[in-house]
């Protein structure tokens, strides 16, 4: 998958779609009844973005991360955030080696392909900030020495929206670094019954076969980011994001990082649909998970029960799509 354009691009997009579907199917063997969430998580993975899963415990957040890492033969690590967790517990530390007489860097759990930051809002702001550099620049600097993280790299953070006691809400800068925010939600009745009737999840995870290697994953990431985007779609993305900046219900609109993130994710979605080009549906489908968590709603709007997703939905309903020629 090194070319795009014309019939070859269509064929490669078809191949991409097949591999994406296989990946999603593999993950869905353990995360049942959540096809849409699984696909969003995979889009996030293939966009080289980070995922914030906001949900109650026990709905499969960790399972999702483990299944994704198992499907792509990637390493995964879990970091349980607590108030006493230190930044070095995440990034690693330099320890003096008496044998060599030099400091040696001992990488922390963040040096995995998929790092699950569980209950990230329970960590102190200082510890949360330890993730800022690695999430954006994909490296950790310790004692002035940068240490790159492996590729692919993805942080899957979770937070419990219900129990907020003793938590530290993520700052805007931190939220902005997450490509998407999704909510797993409870499985439906049939999926939960199937969950009970089937084999234990742990055992399944252990036996989950890899669908592709890390190299294949890297090629898919590269292919998706070279998809053709028609000029009107750039304009459309900017219009959608810019519309949040003037919205009366928002105290803070989406940043240009949001535009970039939305376009990256939309490219992956288009390729996953077997297309070698973007369409407005790709942008619209990902606007809420990509943009909503970056918005800060005014207190008045919050009192009215409005959230970022409502505002994004309203924006999408007001910004003309590129192929709409008026009615």
Partner 1 sequence: MTRYVSLVVTACLSAVAGLAFQRVFGFGPVAPVAAVAAAVPTVLCGLLSGPRKEKRPWPLWISLVLTVAAWTGTVAVTVLRPALSDGTFPQAVREGVLGSWKSILTTLLPAPAKPEFLVLVNVLVWLAAFASAEIALRTRLRALPAVPPLGVWAVALLLGVDGPGSNLPLAAATVVLIAVLVLVRADGPDAGPAWRPLLSGLPVAAVLGALALVAGPVVPVSADPYDPREQVQAPPPQQRDSVSPLDRVGGWLLSPDQVMFTVVSKRDEIERLAVLDTFDGVTWTSSARFVPTGSRVPEGPKPRKEHAVAQRVTIGALPGVYVPAPDRPRQVDGLGVVVDPASGALAAAKPLVSGRTYTVESEVPEWSADDLAGAGVADDAEARADRRLPWGPGATTPPVQLAEFRRFAEAATQGAVSPIQKAAMLAEYLKRYAKYDVTAPPGHGYRQLDYFLGEGRRGTPEHFATAYALLARTLGLPSRVVVGFDGGNRSGGTVQYRSGDVMVWPEIKFAGLGWIRFNPLPDSARRSKSNDSVAAGETEKKLEQAQKNAASRTRGSGPGRTPQKTPPKPAAAHDTPTPWWVYASIAAAALVVAYLMAVLLAPALRRRRRRTGPPGDRITGAWHQALDHLADVGLSTARTLTAHEVAGFGAAQVGEDARGHLGPLADLVNRSRFAASGPDPRAADRAWHHTDQLGRLVTAKAGRLRRLRRRLHPRSLRDPRASGRRAG
Task: Report the 10 Å Cβ neighbour count for 124.
Answer: 16
Could you give the CA distance from residue 302 to residue 141 in angstroms, rounded to a whole number?
Answer: 39
- For the chain, the straight-line distance linking the first and the last C-alpha, in angstroms and rounded, comes to 40
Q: Work out how close the CB of 196 gets to partner 1 at its nearest, in angstroms, rounded to a whole number.
A: 35
Residue 325 in contact with partner 1, rule: CB under 8 A: yes
Nearest one of 65, 70, 68, 60 to 31, comparing CA atoms: 60
Which region among 65-73, 209-217, 290-298, 312-320 touches partner 1 (by CB under 8 A)? 312-320
Residue 276 in contact with partner 1, rule: CB under 8 A: yes
Toward partner 1, which CB reaches closer, 182 or 283? 283
Task: Report the 10 Å Cβ neighbour count for 113.
Answer: 21
Toward partner 1, which CB reaches closer, 14 or 322? 322
| Coil, strand or helix at 168 | coil
Nearest one of 212, 52, 27 to 118, comparing CA atoms: 52
**Segment 118-157, which members bind partner 1 (CB under 8 A)?**
none
| Coil, strand or helix at 22 | helix
DSSP letter assigned to residue 3: -
Residue 277 in contact with partner 1, rule: CB under 8 A: yes
Residue 317 in contact with partner 1, rule: CB under 8 A: yes
Residue 238 in contact with partner 1, rule: CB under 8 A: no
The binder of partner 1 chosen from 102, 196, 197, 327 (CB under 8 A) = 327
Could you give the CA distance from residue 70 to residue 12 in angstroms, rounded to a whole number?
Answer: 24
Q: How many of the chain's residues bind partner 1 (CB under 8 A)?
A: 29
Toward partner 1, which CB reaches closer, 55 or 282? 282
The binder of partner 1 chosen from 28, 54, 216, 281 (CB under 8 A) = 281
Q: Work out how close the CB of 258 gets to partner 1 at its nearest, in angstroms, rounded to a whole number.
A: 19
Nearest one of 312, 7, 79, 45 to 180, comparing CA atoms: 45
Q: Work out how close the CB of 287 gets to partner 1 at its nearest, in angstroms, rounded to a whole number.
A: 12
Query: How many residues can be counted in the chain?
Result: 327
Q: Work out how close the CB of 1 gets to partner 1 at its nearest, in angstroms, rounded to a whole number.
A: 16
Q: Work out how close the CB of 22 gets to partner 1 at its nearest, in angstroms, rounded to a whole number.
A: 23
Could you give the CA distance from residue 37 to residue 248 in angstroms, rounded to a whole number?
Answer: 30
Nearest one of 77, 70, 39 to 209, comparing CA atoms: 70
Residue 102 in contact with partner 1, rule: CB under 8 A: no
Are 159 and 200 in contact by the 8 Å Cβ rule? The answer is no
Q: Work out how close the CB of 312 gets to partner 1 at its nearest, in angstroms, rounded to a whole number.
A: 13
Toward partner 1, which CB reaches closer, 275 or 293? 275
Residue 233 in contact with partner 1, rule: CB under 8 A: yes
Residue 280 in contact with partner 1, rule: CB under 8 A: yes
Could you give the CA distance from residue 151 to residue 147 in angstroms, rounded to a whole number?
Answer: 13
Could you give the CA distance from residue 130 to residue 127 in angstroms, rounded to a whole number?
Answer: 5
| Coil, strand or helix at 203 | helix
The binder of partner 1 chosen from 11, 21, 218, 230 (CB under 8 A) = 230
Which region among 73-81, 153-161, 216-224, 317-325 touches partner 1 (by CB under 8 A)? 317-325
Residue 278 in contact with partner 1, rule: CB under 8 A: yes
Q: Give contact residues for partner 1 (rule: CB under 8 A).
A: 5-7, 9, 228-230, 232-233, 275-281, 284, 316-327
């Amino acid at each position: 998958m090194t070319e795009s354009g014309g019939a070859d691009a269509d064929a490669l997009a078809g191949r991409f779609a097949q591999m994406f579907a296989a990946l999603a199917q593999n993950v869905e063997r353990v995360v049942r009844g959540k096809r849409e969430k699984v696909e969003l998580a995979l889009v996030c993975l293939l966009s080289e973005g980070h995922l914030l899963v906001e949900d109650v415990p026990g709905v499969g957040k960790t399972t999702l991360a483990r299944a994704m890492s198992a499907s792509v033969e990637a390493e995964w690590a879990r970091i349980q955030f607590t108030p006493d967790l230190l930044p070095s517990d995440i990034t690693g530390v330099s320890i003096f080696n008496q044998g060599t007489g030099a400091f040696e860097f001992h990488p922390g759990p963040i040096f995995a392909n998929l790092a699950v930051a569980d209950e990230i809002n329970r960590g102190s702001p200082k510890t949360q900030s330890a993730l800022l550099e690695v999430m954006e620049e994909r490296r950790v600097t310790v004692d002035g020495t940068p240490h790159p993280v492996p590729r692919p790299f993805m942080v899957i953070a979770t937070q419990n929206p219900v129990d907020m006691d003793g938590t530290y809400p993520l700052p805007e800068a931190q939220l902005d670094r997450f490509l998407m925010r999704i909510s797993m939600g409870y499985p439906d009745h049939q999926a939960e019954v199937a969950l009970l009737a089937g084999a234990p999840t742990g055992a399944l995870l252990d036996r989950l076969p890899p669908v592709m290697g890390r190299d294949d994953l890297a090629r898919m990431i590269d292919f998706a980011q070279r998809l053709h985007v028609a000029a009107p779609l750039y304009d459309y993305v900017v219009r959608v994001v810019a519309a949040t900046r003037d919205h009366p219900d928002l105290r803070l609109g989406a940043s240009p990082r949001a535009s970039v993130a939305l376009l990256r994710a939309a490219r992956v979605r288009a390729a996953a649909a077997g297309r070698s080009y973007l369409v407005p549906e790709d942008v619209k489908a990902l606007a809420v998970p990509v943009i909503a968590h970056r918005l800060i709603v005014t207190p008045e709007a919050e009192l009215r029960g409005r959230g970022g997703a409502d505002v994004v939905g309203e924006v999408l309903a007001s910004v003309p799509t590129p192929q709409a020629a008026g009615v």
